[in-house]
Structure 1
Amino acid sequence: MKALVAGATGETGRRIVQELVKRQIPVKALVRDLDLGKQILPPEAELVVGDVLNPDSLTKAIADCTVLLCATGARPSLNPSGPYQVDYEGTKNLVNIAKTQGIEQFVLVSSLCVSQFFHPLNLFWLVLFWKKQAETYLQNSGLNYTIVRPGGLKNQDNSESILMSSEDTLFEGSIPRQKVAQVCVDSLFNSEAHNQILEIVTKPEAVKG
């Protein structure tokens, strides 16, 4: 197994890279800024420069990888096309390249509540709407996939247990990014996570295991 992580310098993506390295899984980190990647990513990660909005740059990046984990996301900005470009078009480009390269599993980090059009987060240029469109594109691609929908993301880890549920059943809650990374990497080894949507938050009273 060799993994390509898209969005590798983001807060969630960098934790996915760290989790893969921790488990001694060879990993390529897709970065737009090579210097930033060198600063924040483990030295064991192979850095490859590319952009999800530039399909030509993805072909070289994905070469010799067998799984792909996507943790990209539009940053808050005044650009109304940001979520459309990054969360939808960027993911589409990754899916299309993954199909041509025979990727065995595509793990997509999405978000809780993507099915709720009138959610307040959609005031940010329809970010949840475009994440949902990306999910649908991946589901219809024929690729083996796992879609991870975390609650509100926290940078600080905690000792709470992960509460995992099925599609459109969790609508509130939060989770540390480190635990999101763990679920994403775990899904690579769990056939029951294949072609599934996993909604995750943490709860003090969640059952461990």
Structure 2
Amino acid sequence: MKAFVAGATGQTGRRIVKELVKRQIPVRALVRNVEAAREILPAEVEFVTGDVLNADSLSAAIGDSTVVLCATGASPGFDPTGPYKVDFEGTKNLVDLAKTKGIQHFVLVSSLCTSQFFHPLNLFWLILVWKKRAEEYIQSSGLTYTIVRPGGLQNEDNDLPVKMSSADTQFDGRIPRTKVAQVCVEALFQPASRNKIVEIVAAAEAPEKSFEQLFASVA
């Protein structure tokens, strides 16, 4: 297995990279600035330059990777096309390339509530709408996929168990980015994760379960 990580220097992406390295999985990290990325990511990582919005740059960057993890996301700002370009077009470019490269598993970090049009997050240039469109594109691609919808993202870790459920069943809650990264990497190893949308939060009332049990519990 060799992992290609898009959004590798983002707050969630960098944790995914570190989790992959901890599991001794070779990583190609897609970055825009290699020198800046070296200050953030482990030395074992292979850095490749490119941009998800530039499909031509992706082909060489993905190299001989066998799995893709996408943790890209539009940054808040004044560009109304940002979520459309990054969350939909960028993901679409990755999915199209993954199909031509015969990628074995595509893991996408999405968000809770993507099916709720009248959600406050959609005030940010319809970001949930475009995340949902990206999910649908992956689902119709023919690729083996896992779509991970986390709740509100926290930079600080905690000891709360992960609560995992099927699509459109959780609508609030928070989760540390470290746990999101663990779920994304575990999805590569769990047969029960394939071709599923999983929603995750960290919850004190959630029973302790293994990742195998968590993925198996989702229809």
TM-score range, shorter chain: over 0.9
Which amino acid is the alignment partner of residue 166 of structure 1? S
Q: Does residue 117 of structure 1 match 2:117?
A: yes
Per-residue CA deviations over 1:110-166 (Å, capped at 9, x if unaligned) read 000000000000000000000000000000000000000000000000010000000
Equivalence for 2:37: 37
- State the TM-score, normalized to the length of structure 2: 0.95
- List aligned pairs for 1:148-167, cutoff 5 A: 148-167=148-167
Give the secondary structure class of the aligned counterpart of 2:131.
Answer: helix
Which amino acid is the alignment partner of residue 150 of structure 2? P
Give the secondary structure class of the aligned counterpart of 1:97.
Answer: helix
Distance 1:94 1:49 in 2: 14
Equivalence for 1:170: 170
Task: State the shift of 1:62 in Å.
Answer: 1.1
Task: State the shift of 1:81 in Å.
Answer: 0.2
% identical equivalent positions: 67
Distance 1:201 1:158 in 2: 12
Distance 2:49 2:153 in 1: 26
Which amino acid is the alignment partner of residue 26 of structure 1? P
- Runs (4 or more) in structure 1 with deviation over 3 Å come to none
Count of paired positions: 209
Give the secondary structure class of the aligned counterpart of 1:40.
Answer: coil
Distance 2:150 2:11 in 1: 14
Distance 2:208 2:63 in 1: 37
- State the TM-score, normalized to the length of structure 1: 0.99
Which amino acid is the alignment partner of residue 197 of structure 1? I
Task: State the shift of 1:63 in Å.
Answer: 1.4
Task: State the shift of 1:36 in Å.
Answer: 1.4
Q: Does residue 197 of structure 1 match 2:206?
A: no
Distance 1:97 1:191 in 2: 23
Task: State the shift of 1:61 in Å.
Answer: 1.2
Distance 1:28 1:184 in 2: 16
Per-residue CA deviations over 1:88-130 (Å, capped at 9, x if unaligned) read 0000000000000000000000000000000000000000000
Give the secondary structure class of the aligned counterpart of 2:149.
Answer: strand
Distance 1:43 1:137 in 2: 34
Q: Does residue 80 of structure 1 match 2:57?
A: no
Distance 1:36 1:97 in 2: 26
Give the secondary structure class of the aligned counterpart of 2:88.
Answer: helix
